[in-house]
Amino acid sequence: MTLSSTVLITGASSGIGATYAERFARRGHDLVLVARDKARLDALAKRLQDENGVAVAVLQADLTESAELAVVEARLRDDARIGILVNNAGMAQSGSFVQQTGDSIERLITLNTTAPARLAAAVAPRLAQSGSGAIVNIGSVVGFAPEMGMSLYGATKAFVLFLSQGLSLELSSKGVYVQAVLPAATRTEIWQRSGMDVNALPEVMEVGELVDAALAGFDRREQVTIPPLHVAARWDALEGARQGLLSDIRQAHAAERYRAPE
């Protein structure tokens, strides 16, 4: 990807997405900002244009609405200036699993999994064709922590990590860089939006620190960046254990412990 690539960021009206927009604008990238709140996007676009001299376009879309998602897909497919997609828009879970409704489950899964998958699929063929570009997917450490009590949200973030790792394997040989970024608790509006008090948490990362760390990982072309993980070797150990497990999957027969006694 070239320094001049335009960056399309979903969920750019606040929090992590707005901070990515600021950082990429400072680096000289033109931007396409996507979210529902057009007034906020317009204000951010104007400020970033004035401060950095970059071009910032606004695309209002509710990514849980298939027709609006399709407009963003079309932009990613057709606008050859876009070389970087940041799949950031997301929502957390309000309440426990038994408090969910069919609608709330569908909205959460659509925003956190269907939208990033469809958007990645819209841009990937063009990036692979050009032999360059990047897809950044914002997951969460909750994606490997069912203990945290956010089963649905965590499941969507496990999807994001898996999708990122799979896409990285499929696309890196074609020159396309795929990064999964896994924050832990970060001070943004997501807490308030889902009815939680961020100030009740014992530890919270400031959003600027999170995005700067994520971009350090981006610059190193890390596949998985976990800013709050202090001992990087723990991730390597988890990956090693996963590979070990895979090496012991034998498809022809059930394991000894499941065989009926003769």
Burial of 130 (0-12, 13-18, 19+ CB in 10 A): middle
| Spatial contact of 191 and 136, defined as CB atoms under 8 Å apart | no
Q: Which of residues 34-73 bind ligand NAP (CB under 6 A)?
A: 35-37, 40, 61-64
- Could you confirm whether 153 is annotated as catalytic? yes
> For residues 63 and 161, which CB has a smaller minimum distance to ligand NAP in the complex?
63
- Report if residue 126 touches ligand NAP, rule: CB under 6 A: no
Site stretch for ligand NAP (CB under 6 A), options 32-40, 97-105, 167-175, 244-252:
32-40
- Say whether residue 193 binds ligand NAP (CB under 6 A): yes
Considering the complex, state which of residue 70 and residue 241 has its C-beta at the smaller distance from ligand NAP.
70
Q: Is residue 15 at the binding interface for ligand NAP, with CB under 6 A as the rule?
A: yes
| 142 vs 176, beta carbon nearer ligand NAP | 142
| Position 214 contacts ligand NAP (CB under 6 A) | no
Which pair of tokens denotes residue 91? 């929502």
Please give the order of strands across the beta sheet that includes 31-35.
Answer: 56-60, 31-35, 6-10, 82-87, 134-138, 177-181, 224-225
CA–CA gap between residue 39 and residue 30 (Å, rounded): 19
Write down the least CB distance from residue 105 to ligand NAP, Å: 14
Q: Does 113 bind ligand NAP (CB under 6 A)?
A: no
- Bridge-based pairing of strands 6-10 and 134-138 is unpaired
3-38 b/e (C-beta count within 10 Å ≥ 16 → b):
eebbbbbbbbbbbbbbbbbbbbbeeebbbbbbbbee
- Applying CB under 6 A, does 13 fall inside the site for ligand NAP? yes
Q: β-strand 134-138 against 82-87: which pairing, if any? A: parallel
Of 40 and 126, CB closest to ligand NAP: 40
Query: Amino acid identity of 225?
Result: T
Q: So which residues are the catalytic ones?
A: 153
> What residues line the site for ligand NAP (CB under 6 A)?
11-17, 35-37, 40, 61-64, 88-91, 111, 138, 140, 183, 185-186, 188-190, 193
